[in-house]
Amino acid sequence: MIDPETVRPYLTHSLQARLPLLDERHETAVRLFNGFVEGCPQLVVELFGATAVLYNYADPPEELHEVLTAVQQLLLGQFPWLQAVLVKSRNGSDDEKRGVLVWGSQLTTKIREHGVRYALDLTLNQDASFYLDTRNVRRWALDNLAGKDVLNTFAYTGSLGLAAAAAAAAAAGASRVLHTDLNKRFLNVAKTSYTLNGFPIDRKLFQAGDFWRQMSQLKRAGEQFDCVFLDPPFFAQTAAGTVDLNQGMARLVNKVRPLVRHNGHIIAINNALYVSGAAYLAELEALCADGYVAIEQLIPVPEDCTGYPHTQITPPITDPAPFNHSTKIALLKVHHKVSQA
């Protein structure tokens, strides 16, 4: 068993670092503790509104039981406004992976980020249905995609595309955001987010299906977009193709390149823990060798997700440099051959 008294000071120190990120209305979402680098690799704690989500990575899960009890007590003492505590056990049963409510009765169903409302279903999957580490991508979308046509592949619950739709709404600019994902249930959460923000729902823009087939269909139809979000799962396999980020992203990037307009963008995200930052950068540089793709910038993961310099106890499992986290985010610019008159 892991000693809770060993973990307590690490968690307390990490909570103090995140306090400036919290809001008075308790609508924000923050990673409170990244145990992989902050002192307990079996534990991650995230806050979604008034619900604390504790991710238990111990194997077997029972090894962390006393720590989880201590963490719950600490959180309720620090944040008396909490309404629920949910525990997700990565090595538990399917129900335990999706989450067990251990305190309270009402899970948070929505949060607000950068003024945009996002729907949640905290027990939909083994994660919390909303990825905190791509917060800066959503900020970029809000700042840059008003009036643009956007393709959100591997959309999951649609947060990246929703940020693009919010940018268009704020600027009163016409735009189209197409969300694609294999799982219709995930896209239904995206539709709920649209409703929360008062955005109209065009069902044709929420397409459930296989990535490889969908991209081929869009290419045959001559579809073009100003920006494509490419945030695939670590591994996925269908009859049409395999996604395996340990083996690289090049095939995925090349699949969507024909769909990007001249001077448009691809946001390419590789979240494979054991792929180093140097290896991913080298793969992207190889893609850029023909001159038709360029790395415009690397988008960092927020510090509450990575851990702060003064809260980090151990280095990450794999060196992410020049990125700052195992979720490695690159903004690529796409060029096309210009026909000669």
Per-residue pLDDT, 339: 56
Per-residue pLDDT, 89: 98
Per-residue pLDDT, 173: 66
Q: Provide the residue ranges of all domains of the chain, joining segments of one domain with +.
A: 4-108, 131-334
Strand boundaries in the chain, DSSP class E: 29-34, 43-48, 51-56, 84-89, 100-104, 110-113, 116-119, 149-153, 176-181, 206-208, 225-230, 235-238, 241-244, 260-270, 293-299, 328-334
Per-residue pLDDT, 168: 87
Q: How far apart are CA 284 and CA 279, in angstroms?
A: 9
Mean pLDDT for back-to-back runs of 10 residues, the chain (341 residues): 91 98 97 97 98 97 97 97 98 98 97 98 97 98 95 98 93 83 97 97 97 97 97 91 91 97 98 96 96 97 98 95 98 83 44
- Of the CATH numbers 1.10.3720.10, 2.60.40.10, 3.30.70.20, 3.40.50.150, which one belongs to the domain with range 131-334? 3.40.50.150
Report the CATH fold assignment for 4-108. Transcription Regulator spoIIAA (3.30.750)
Per-residue pLDDT, 181: 97
Per-residue pLDDT, 174: 59
Per-residue pLDDT, 340: 46
